[in-house]
Amino acid sequence: MTVLLRSLHILWVCCRYRLDQLVSQPLPMPLRYVLMLFPVGTASRGERLRQACETLGPIFVKFGQLLSTRPDLIPPDIVKELDQLQDNVPPFSPQTFREIVKSSLGQSLEAVFDTLEEQPLASASVAQVHAATLKPTLKEQTRREVVVKVIRPGIENTIQKDIALLRWVARCLERWLPDGKRLRSVDIVEDYRNTIFDELNLQREAANASQLRRNFNHSALLYVPEIIWEHSNKTILVMERIYGIPVASVEALEAQQTNMKLLAERGVEIFFTQVFEHNFFHADMHPGNIFVSTQTPHQPQYICIDMAIVGSLSREDQYYLARNLLAMFRRDYRQVAELHVQSGWVPKHTHVSDFEASVRTVCEPIFQKPLAEISFGKVMITLFQTAQRFNMEVQPQLILLQKTLLNIEGLGRQLYPELDLWQTAHPFLERWLENRLHPKTLFKEIKRYTPEWMEKLPDVPTTLISNMETLEKMGGLIPQIQQAAEDYHQIKQRNKRRYRMSLIATILAMGAAVTAWPQGITYISSLPPATTILGVAALGIWLFK
């Protein structure tokens, strides 16, 4: 009954906000009559979808946030609205929070914390965060300020039920809509399921934060808070508390005389450093997760939190992505097309010339603008959308990357509207490719994989001999395969001739029967008998030749 009521509520919300207008195909007539009872109003389609997600609750808010990361599937106006979704929900009681913390730690709160604030710093759909101070230890004599994050009680059961409903809706869309398969709604729901269940494991987020902190250790670009591992596990995360200015508070940043140009450029540098040098990037860098240190405003440093979602690329994807970006901004569309084929992003049989022409068609108008006005992220989206017409499969890691780039680019131009992202990215990519092909780098790679090669070396002769024996056996089977193919072809031809003759005989017999009984079919009986027979026979021969 609960599932039925929830389903009816979701259906009512979809009708109330007229989400039927998000699809271009007409719906069944009975449903259209029902929808006439709900006026459309003046809100845009993106705004209506955002309001529907907020009405349906935190799980759908998270789903809407995930949809905003898929600009390859979702139109720009809808993505812009979904980006405004705020994952703020009423907090659960302080007593419940303390009970969860105690259960997660396996010991009393007084043994770990000096203070644990009752009012939360943040309350979201999946987790809640409170400020606290740790008790002094022999290692640290001071009371260390931390934040404590726990999973919202009962959330897993709620997520399971709502995802089951979302999966059902997605299957209906793929079955009923003519272009339902293209929307890949089932894949999107599965992607959402994996993402949100990853967020339920706070130890995963803690591990991501530790890795990112290690990558930027002693860096002037980015600071990552320290994880207090002795008090963190799957259901609780204790982390160093940070203080900074929210990156979206431009007035506050300007008030402390922050170097806004350098701040914007460092954001771009952080992104490319994570993607190409570390191959481990924070994939949820929206303004709510980014702060700016107040320590050195003339040499500004970023601070990031909430590392639940991260991304990485294979070495091949790194290489082909860097070369693609360089070739694209040089307007070498031929190389862009060739790299897509070489990387396997599009099928090997793709006609490079056709792909090159399509890339030129969509990119050439973009590059008529000054480079400083071109959106790097939108160029990537345009390129991948063009490639999808040539059967490029969805690359989840690249989709995550392009959404992160859009966030960084939008944030950078909010801080410094004259930001020329290409001026920062171009020398970085050139230098990275040069270092990748440097003899020292190649030697390091050889050194890295030498133990593995040496381990497999004794098996090489045996493997070669085994493969040669297999090839020799296959070679002996070739005459038998050829003979079987010839026999099959002859049998097929004989059966085909027999089929044609029997079919022609049947049609002739039908023609004769029609001539012998002219009263039964007046439009045929009016013809001469010979004409009827020959006409039916000729039709049969023509149809089945």
Average pLDDT (502-516) is 51
Q: Is the pLDDT of residue 241 over 80?
A: yes
Task: Name the nearest CA neighbour of 44 among 12, 85, 82, 72.
Answer: 82
Report pLDDT for 8: 77
Split at pLDDT 50, 70, 90, the class of 258 is: very high
Tell me: the pLDDT tens digits for 435-459? 877 777 667 667 666 777 677 777 7
The pLDDT of residue 239 is 95
Confidence of residue 214 (pLDDT cuts 50, 70, 90): very high
* CA distance linking residue 388 with residue 135, whole number of Å: 56
Q: DSSP letter string over 184-237?
A: THHHHHHHHHHHHHHHT-HHHHHHHHHHHHHHTTT-SSEE-PPB-GGG--SSEE
Predicted local distance difference test score (pLDDT) of residue 253: 93
Q: What is the pLDDT of residue 492?
A: 67
Q: 299-337 pLDDT, tens per residue?
A: 999 999 988 888 888 888 888 888 988 888 888 999 989
Task: Give phi and psi for 458, each to the nearest 5.
Answer: -60, -25
With bands split at pLDDT 50, 70 and 90, how would you rate the model's confidence at 177?
A: low
pLDDT band for position 87 (cuts 50, 70, 90): low
**CA nearest neighbour of 347 among 398, 392, 397, 389:** 392
Residue 229's pLDDT band, with cuts at 50, 70 and 90, is very high
Confidence bin at 527 (pLDDT 50/70/90): very low
| Between residues 255 and 539, the one the model is more confident about | 255
Taking the C-alpha atoms of residue 419 and residue 417, their distance in angstroms, rounded to an integer, is 6
In the prediction, which pLDDT does 370 show? Answer: 73
- What are the helix (H) ranges across 352-459? 352-363, 376-388, 396-415, 421-436, 439-456
Q: What's CA 42's distance to the chain center, in Å?
A: 31
Q: CA dist 232 to 146, 227, 236, Å?
A: 12, 8, 5
Closest C-alpha to 514, from 357, 506, 5 = 506
pLDDT at 291 over 80: yes
Count of Cβ atoms closer than 10 Å to residue 461 Cβ: 9
pLDDT of residue 224: 95
At 351-389, the pLDDT tens digits run 889 989 998 988 888 877 776 677 777 787 788 778 878
Mean of the per-residue pLDDT values of the chain: 79
Taking the C-alpha atoms of 361, 366, 369 and 372 in order, what is their torsion angle to the nearest 10 degrees? -140
| Alpha carbon 432 to chain centroid, angstroms | 25
Q: Which amino acid is at 164?
A: A
- Can you tell me the mean pLDDT for 487-515? 59
Burial of 257 (0-12, 13-18, 19+ CB in 10 A): exposed
**Would you tell me the crossing angle of helices 421-436 and 260-272 to the nearest 10 degrees?**
30
Lowest average pLDDT, out of 154-168, 242-256, 461-475, 516-530, goes to 516-530
CA distances from 416 to 136, 204, 289, 457 (A): 43, 34, 19, 56
Residues 6+ apart with CB under 8 A from 326: 426, 429, 430, 433
Distance between CA 460 and CA 339 in Å, rounded? 32
With a cut of 50, say whether residue 539 has pLDDT above it: no
- Residue 220's DSSP bridge partners are none
pLDDT at 315 (0 to 100): 85
pLDDT of residue 449: 63
Which one-letter amino acid corresponds to residue 444? K
Of the candidate ranges 239-248, 281-290, 387-396, 489-498, the one whose mean pLDDT is the lowest: 489-498
Phi, psi (deg, nearest 5) at residue 249: -85, 75
The catalytic residue positions are 284
pLDDT of residue 532: 45
Token duo for residue 44:
């845009």
So what's the pLDDT on residue 210? 96
pTM of the model: 0.70
Distances in Å between the Cα of 294 and the Cα atoms of 61, 213, 242, 246, 439 are 32, 19, 11, 11, 42
Residue-wise pLDDT for 391-401, tens only, equals 777 666 777 78
Q: What is the pLDDT of residues 11-33, one digit of tens each?
A: 788 888 887 777 666 666 666 66
Give the SS3 label for residue 527: coil
pLDDT at 385: 78
Confidence of residue 474 (pLDDT cuts 50, 70, 90): low
